[in-house]
Amino acid sequence: MLDPQQLLDLAREQADSPGAGAPRQVVLRRAVSTAYYAVFHMLCGAMAEIFVPANLPKSRALFYRSPDHKKTKERCKRLGQNPLHSEERSFFGFAAFSSELRTFANTFVLLQELRHRCDYDPEYKLSKAQAQQAVDDATQAIGSFAAANSDEKNQFLAYLLFAVRPL
Amino acid sequence: MTGVAETKAEVGQLLKQKLPKAEVARIDVREQPDAEGQPSFYIYVVFRSSPSRDELRQTNTLVDQLRTWLGQKGDERFPYFSFITEKDEKELSQ
C-alpha cells in the first residue's frame, strides 16, 4: 500500500519548490496531483483495513483497488451535504455526517476537481500559494478523517463502496 | 436555483466571518459544469494581500457552510472555491 504521508511529503516538496524565480507550472501541477493521490490512497487503505482482516492480503488488495475516482467523488458530494438527501437520511437514520467527515468529503471533491484541471487542462495555471493550499487541504482532510468517530467512518466508507441501492 | 449575485453576497458574508482581517479585492462567481458535467459554482476569491497559511486553513469549512446555505434554497450545485492574491493573478495572466 502506498503511504499517504510519504505522498503528502512529496507534494509539500513539490509545492514549496525552493528554486529561484517563479516555480514551473509542471511542478505545481504535480504537487496538486500528488496531494490528491495522498487522500485517495488514504481512503483506499482505510477501506481495506476496516473491512478485511490483515491475514487475508489478497482480499485486502481487492478492497484497496476497488474505489473508482468518479463514483467516489459523486458519493462524497452526497455525503458532504448537510442535511443528507432524504434517501441517505432515511437509510442511516441521522440527518448528516459529522463536520469532520463532511469536511473530508467536500475537500475530496475539491481536490479531485483541481487535480483534473492540473492533469488535463493545458491552459490552466496556478500559483505557488494555490498549490501549497491544495497540500494543506489534503493534510487537513486526512486529519479530519482520522479524527472522526470509528463507527461513523465505517458507515461512510461502506457507502463510498456500495452507496444505497433502492429496495 | 440560487443566483450568482445572491451567492456572491453570501460568500462575502462567510469570508467576513472566517477571515475578518483579510482584504478581499474581488469575488467572482461563475456557473459552469464541473469535470463530470454536473452544474456547479466556481468561486474565485481575489485578496489584496496574501492571508497567512493559518488564516487560509480556516476556509476549509466554507464549502460546508455554503452547501448548507445552498441546500436550504434547494440548490445542489457544488461550490468550487479558489483563492488567489492580486499579485499572483497578475503574474499568472502574463
pLDDT in tens, B29-74: 999 999 999 999 999 999 999 888 788 888 888 999 999 999 999 9
Calculate how close chain B gets to A54, using CA atoms only, in Å.
34
Percent of chain B with pLDDT over 70: 100
Residue A33 contacts B, CB cutoff 8 Å = no
Largest CA distance in chain B: 41
What's at A63, amino acid-wise?
Answer: F
Domain ranges of chain A: 4-162
Average pLDDT over residues A104-127: 96
What's the pLDDT at B90? 95
Average pLDDT over residues A18-42: 91
Chain-chain contact of B57 with A136 (C-beta, under 8 angstroms): yes
ipTM comes to 0.95
Report the C-alpha gap between B63 and B68 in whole angstroms. Answer: 8
Calculate how close chain B gets to A61, using CA atoms only, in Å.
28
What's the pLDDT at B52? 84
Nearest chain B residue to A144 by CA: give it: B60
Average pLDDT over residues A93-111: 97
What's the pLDDT at A20? 67
Measure CB to CB from residue A99 to each of B50, B57, B64 and give the nearest one: B64
Q: Which of B8, B2, B94, B79 is nearest to B46 (CA)?
A: B8
Report the C-alpha gap between B14 and B62 in whole angstroms. Answer: 7
Average pLDDT over residues B3-25: 94
Chain-chain contact of B84 with A130 (C-beta, under 8 angstroms): yes
Q: Which residues of A8-44 are buried (b: 16+ CB within 10 A; e: fewer)?
A: bebbbebbeeeeeeebeeebbbbbbbbbbbbbbbbbb
CB contacts of B56 in chain A (<8 Å) are 133, 136
What's the pLDDT at B59? 85
Q: Which of A10, A6, A1, A30 is nearest to A128 (CA)?
A: A30
Position B9 pLDDT exceeds 70? yes
What's the pLDDT at A166? 74
Residue A102 contacts B, CB cutoff 8 Å = yes
A13-27, A104-118, A136-150: segment of lowest average pLDDT: A13-27
Residue B84 contacts A, CB cutoff 8 Å = yes
What's the pLDDT at B55? 84
Ramachandran region, residue A24 (left: φ > 0; alpha: ψ -120 to 50; beta: rest)? beta
Position B26 pLDDT exceeds 70? yes
Position B94 pLDDT exceeds 90? no
What are the grid coordinates assigned to A25, written together?
A: 507550472
Average pLDDT over residues A26-52: 97
Nearest chain B residue to A69 by CA: give it: B36
CB contacts of B81 in chain A (<8 Å) are 110
CB pairs under 8 A between A and B: 70
CB contacts of B72 in chain A (<8 Å) are none
Nearest chain B residue to A129 by CA: give it: B84
What's at B6, amino acid-wise?
Answer: E
Residue B94 contacts A, CB cutoff 8 Å = no
Select the more confidently predicted residue: A31 or B1: A31
Alpha carbons within 13 angstroms on the beta-carbon side of residue B68 total: 13
Q: Given 3-state DSSP classes, what are the helix, strand and coil percentages for chain B, each rounded to the nearest 5? A: 45, 30, 25
Report the C-alpha gap between A13 and A31 in whole angstroms. Answer: 8
